[in-house]
Structure 1
Amino acid sequence: MTGILYLVATPIGNLEDITLRAIRVLRECDQIACEDTRHSRKLLSHLDIHRPLVSFHAHSSQERLQSLLTALEAGQNVALITDAGTPALSDPGAELVDACVRVQVPIVAVPGPSALTAALALAGTGTARFVFEGFLPTTGRERRDRLQKLAREERAVVFFEAPHRLLRTLADLAEHCGSDRPLVLCRELTKIHEQVWRGTLEQARRAFEAQPPRGEFTLILAAAPHEAAALPGEDELRAALSSLIATGLSRSEASRQLAQKLGLPRKQLYALSLDLDTTAGGSAPGSASMNKFDAG
């Protein structure tokens, strides 16, 4: 018989948040796979658990993945834990889960602490429908495109963010979503310096500029108002810009006119215009028929 992969949730801060079932599984399993052995050893020592510990993280080799699969297929039970919270959720452990699914190794969840659900509970109303974004792409067009889509999301959006990237993320969200979009920002949940901050994106930016951010953050962005959710997508915006530029307007003027018409940030539209080939015959696909946003 094959072993079982247990997905064991561990505390996100307060060590008292470990469940009785999690303690039992960790004590009875044959080995424990974790992100950082030094970090996990502290928790396990606190719980008086002494099982073989092996690292499994974003930079682990395929050989390490295969060795865990071999152990499971040989009948060993393996517990997967992350540095904090639920493993395999915005976490490299998902790769091990996928591998176990492929070879039909049983997987059992041992639920418990999660920054995602804790932050949603603290946020209050407006989170009955939500989408979990995890960490945003860090650079380039992928980040810009993702923010553009999320600006029109009709559900609350949950992000994780590191302290050194928080101010940039707040600024980018304000640019795409509007500086007055409501936000709940949770810091160091369940720890001594836990903080739940509520306000707008602009207020958050000012607050954390004055007091440099520390600790891990969970952000809950309010759903887009109805009129923002109904705005055109990037392909439509590019086509509208291309149509305006084809009339002889500069990128800057085309962006200004379309921004005024749709109530979008001019800088956001100008950035989209830079993607366009405005040489002869180089208009964006579909621009010839795209005139419903034409300022003329």
Structure 2
Amino acid sequence: MTVESGALYVVATPIGNLEDISARALRVLREVDCIAAEDTRHTGQLLRHFGIETPLLSLHEHNERDRLEHIVARLREGKTLALVSDAGTPLISDPGFPLVRELRRQGLPVIPVPGPSSILAALSVAGLPTDRFVFEGFLPAKTAARCERLRTLAADERTLAFLEASHRIAETLMDMAAVFGGERPAVVARELTKRFEEVQGAPLGQLTAWLKADPNRSKGEFVVLVQGAIAANEADTPENRRLLLALLSELPLSRAVVVAVKLTGLRKKPLYDLALLLGEKQESD
């Protein structure tokens, strides 16, 4: 299988461990006519490691829009290009969005070559809910703006995923504990796939203390995951409502709740509160 003429390949590269690059990514990087890279020096080291001699073209946040016309012209000539960032999947807090948007607008092929992602790597080992999550990227650098952003997320029930720099990680964890509450479960993933990789889970208040306990823990690149807010009543689902209504039609409220706890595995308090609400509604109907 060879690369498609006139296409841009969006290629994920390792976030640390070079063994994580895929065989397909290596083949594409060898076969394309040119590689658009966020930092040509950084990507050059990667290519040399694998013996790849494909020419490089710089494409970063300061020149991306100026490069659009040149890249479009090359693709229309039938040339094939790859887009890479310094690490991980391009466009995820990295350059490339204006280029991909313009190519799709013009009907030119854009082909993903999936691979490493620090966000997905952290989520896969965090032990936090992953059925629903939201990626928030980097928070604002200033404390006031950062806390304001966090306040807008405080009631979000999805797992929250952030990137953070080493010189701000301590302040960010303190602000998160202040806004979300020190008991909110969270995970700090540091230097993923690299020699000093660490994944530490604890309530936010404890994570702040954990970070301060060892100066080395503030070094490197960070992903911070925070469990979403608990719903007002975690038991209030259509299925549990139907179950409780059926039980309440046959049993006293306290006995109905005991049976519901055994059947659902949920805590007694939210089921009791829901049963009270349903009982009151039945009386008013």
Question: Normalising by the residue count of structure 1, what TM-score does the alignment of the two structures yield?
Answer: 0.73
RMSD, aligned CA = 1.9
Give per-residue Cα distances to partners, 1:216-274, cap 9 Å, x unaligned: 00111011122499xxxxxxxxxxxxxxxxxxxxxxxxxxxxxxxxxxxxxxxxxxxxx
Equivalent AA in structure 1 for residue 48 of structure 2: S
Q: Which runs of 5+ in 1 are unaligned?
A: 230-296
The aligned counterpart of 2:138 is: 135
Cα deviation, 1:117-166, whole Å, max 9, x if unaligned, reads 11111012422211111111223765333211211110101111111111
Counterpart of 2:101 in structure 1 is 98
Number of the residue aligned with 2:202 = 199
Structure 2 residue 125 is matched with structure 1 residue 122: yes
For residue 94 of structure 1, report the CA deviation from its aligned partner: 1.5
Match of 1:225 among 227, 230, 233: 230
* Matching residue within 154, 157, 180 for 2:183: 180
- The amino acid that maps onto 2:190 is R
% same residue? 49
Q: Does 1:112 align with 2:102?
A: no
Contact 2:65 2:99 in 1 (8 A): no
> Could you tell me which residue of structure 1 aligns to residue 73 of structure 2?
70
The list of structure 1 runs, each at least 4 consecutive aligned residues, that deviate by more than 4 angstroms after superposition, is none
Answer yes or no: is the 8 Å Cα contact 1:2–1:105 preserved in 2. no
How far apart, in 2, do the equivalents of 1:209 and 1:96 lie? 41
Instruction: For 1:185 and 1:141, locate their aligned partners in 2 and report how far apart those are by CA, in whole Å.
Output: 22
Residue equivalent to 2:40: 37
The 5 A counterparts of 1:23-62 are 23-60=26-63, 62=65
| Per-residue CA distance 1:188-214 (angstroms, 9 max, x = gap) | 111111101111111111221232301
C-alpha distance in 1, partners of 2:144/2:166?
A: 22
Aligned with residue 84 of structure 2, among 77, 81, 87:
81
Larger Rg, first or second structure (1 or 2): 2
Task: Pick from 190, 207, 212 the counterpart of residue 209 of structure 1.
Answer: 212
Cα distance in structure 1, aligned partners of 2:205 and 2:127: 21
Could you tell me which amino acid in structure 1 is paired with residue 222 of structure 2? F
- Please tell me the residue identity of whatever aligns with 1:117: L
For 2:248, the equivalent position in structure 1 comes to: none
Q: CA deviation at 1:181?
A: 0.9
SS of the equivalent of 1:99 reads: helix
Report the count of equivalent residues.
229
Report the secondary structure of 1:224's partner residue: coil
User: Is residue 2:20 matched to residue 1:17?
Assistant: yes
Q: Which is further off, 197-206 or 44-53?
A: 197-206
The question of whether the paired residues in 1 share the 8 Å contact of 2:128 and 2:227 is answered with no
CA contact (8 A) 1:2 1:73 kept: no
C-alpha contact 1:11 1:18 (8 A) present in aligned 2: yes
Unaligned runs of 5+ in 2: 235-285
Determine the C-alpha separation between the residues in 1 that align with 2:147 and 2:128: 28
Alignment partner of 1:149 is 2:152: yes
Provide closer, same or farther for how the CA distance between residues 136 and 113 of structure 1 changes in structure 2, counting only shifts above 3 A: same
Distance 2:122 2:232 in 1: 27
Contact (CA 8 Å) 2:64, 2:96: kept in 1 or not? no
| CA distance, structure 1, for counterparts of residue 143 and residue 202 of structure 2 | 28
Indicate the SS of the match to 2:167.
Answer: helix
Amino acid at match of 1:224: A
Q: What one-letter code is carried by the residue in structure 2 that aligns with 1:177?
A: F
Residues 11 and 17, structure 1, Cα contact 8 Å, conserved in 2: yes
For the Cα contact (< 8 Å) 2:64–2:98, is it kept in 1? no
Q: Which moved more, 1:117-126 or 1:57-66?
A: 57-66
TM-score, length-scaled by structure 2: 0.76
For residues 148 and 130 of structure 2, the distance between their equivalents in structure 1, rounded to whole angstroms, comes to: 24
Q: Secondary structure in 2 aligned to 1:163?
A: coil
